[in-house]
Amino acid sequence: MDSLDQEVLRAGIRWLSAGHRVLLVTVVRTWGSSPRPEGAMLAIRDDGAVVGSVSGGCIEDDLIAAVRENGVVDPRPSTRTYGVTAEEAWRFGLPCGGTIQLVLEPLVDAHALEALYEAVSQGKLVSRTLDMHSGEVQLADAARTAGLSFDEHRLVTIHGPRYRMLVIGGGQLSRYLCSMAAGLDYQVTVCDPRTEYTDAWDIPGIRIVRTMPDDAVLDMQLDRRSAVIALTHDPTLDDLALMEALRTDAFYVGALGSRRNNAARRKRLLEFDLTTRDIARLHGPVGIYIGSRTPPEIAISILAEVTAAKNGVVVPRLATIEGAKAVGALAVS
């Protein structure tokens, strides 16, 4: 499954190769509320076809209209700002008077885009530096902590999976979870030493390791842009991963299981010299309560909680599976 970045890049390559002119639009600054974050991209073909998004739709409509009327004729990158006035904010659907600044870059070289697309498709993290005066582009390796920067002279954007996810267990639920996580731009690794679960793994772009889970955690050197989710129901596998993951800076560590199993797991983890503070970081039962029953629904529930943690949103206890089921049990009794 392609990420949105890859879809935009792939469309640009296809259109340029077919002889079209293409305008690449990138969000470089936002003030106040904005429907899309910095780094969001949109590709517009010279006939108005688009892939990607930089707003809720109204700004796209304005850019498309301009391209259809004038074409992609300016050879050098330029900037455009929307929402400076209250009238513009209302017109373009920017909430609470938000303002958004865009870089408009005419694309001319499909080969340059292909190099970036191939690197991103291989799971690499790449910085792309655009010279605003010459239009020249340079690619380089990027650090996971790097972010977009723009100083009117140079635009540096980061492409590729900035967030990583380690999934313990290669069962059916993992397949749905990993497919969805890849679509959310995670670089996904599945760890399962049980060959019967991973020999037939056929989801492209997912890395498979067959080491013991604690070794996988140590090898990945997890940081604050990492998530770990244990899904095997086997304490000899899940607990090993959790034991090491809770000692790292991973922004999310969670485990599947019932409330009773998770309570027992927390007691076992205390035997591994983890502190109560470490164990308090564990999400379990993993996920947000949406009444999920099937593997795809459970995957959505889990990724909703992971996304909230990634974005710094505190999920109310009643919205967690543990909290919701506790209230349900009280209501029944």
Quote the percentage of the chain above a pLDDT of 70. Answer: 91
pLDDT score, position 92:
62
Query: What b-and-e string marks burial along 47-56, b requiring 16 or more CB atoms within 10 Å of the CB?
Result: eeebbbbbbe
Same structural domain for residues 171 and 148?
A: no
Averaged pLDDT, 8-30: 94
Q: Which residues pair with 165 in a beta bridge?
A: 188, 227
CA distance 172 to 81: 46
- Band of pLDDT at residue 202, cut at 50, 70 and 90: confident
CA of 30: how far to CAs of 26, 62, 83, in Å?
A: 11, 18, 10
Q: Which residues pair with 141 in a beta bridge?
A: 126
pLDDT score, position 1:
37
Domain boundary at 114, 129, 159, which?
159
161 pLDDT above the threshold of 90: no
Look at the alpha carbons of 253, 297, 177, 35 in this order and tell me if their dihedral is positive or negative. Answer: negative
pLDDT score, position 129:
96
Same structural domain for residues 111 and 167?
A: no
Averaged pLDDT, 231-256: 93
Domain boundary at 122, 140, 159, which?
159
333 pLDDT above the threshold of 50: no
Cis-peptide, bond into residue 296, ω within 30° of zero: no
pLDDT tens digits, one per residue of 259-278:
899 999 999 998 888 889 99
Domain boundary at 121, 142, 159, which?
159
Same structural domain for residues 176 and 281?
A: yes
In the numeric block, which tokens belong to residue 303?
């990724």
Averaged pLDDT, 160-183: 92
pLDDT tens digits, one per residue of 64-118:
999 999 888 888 999 999 875 666 656 666 655 578 899 999 998 899 899 999 9
CA distance 125 to 120: 7
- Band of pLDDT at residue 226, cut at 50, 70 and 90: very high
> How wide is the angle at C-alpha 187 spanned by C-alphas 199 and 42, nearest 5°?
130
Coil, helix or strand for 317? Answer: helix
In the numeric block, which tokens belong to residue 136?
């020249």
Averaged pLDDT, 317-333: 69
Give the structural domain span for 176. 163-332
Q: Which residues pair with 158 in a beta bridge?
A: 127
pLDDT score, position 75:
85
CA of 298: how far to CAs of 179, 224, 266, in Å?
A: 13, 24, 22
pLDDT score, position 331:
46
Contacts 24+ apart (CB under 8 A), 62-69: 62/92, 63/23, 63/25, 63/104, 67/23
H helices then E strands: how many in the chain?
12, 15
Same structural domain for residues 184 and 130?
A: no
Are 20 and 110 within 8 A, CB to CB? no
Same structural domain for residues 287 and 303?
A: yes
Same structural domain for residues 322 and 206?
A: yes
Place of tokens 């019967």: 196
Put simply, whether the predicted model's pTM sits higher than 0.75 gets the answer no
Domain count, the chain: 2
pLDDT score, position 134:
93
- Biggest CA pair distance of the chain: 72
Averaged pLDDT, 30-50: 85
pLDDT tens digits, one per residue of 273-290:
888 999 999 999 999 999
Same structural domain for residues 184 and 281?
A: yes
CATH of the domain at 219: 3.40.50.720
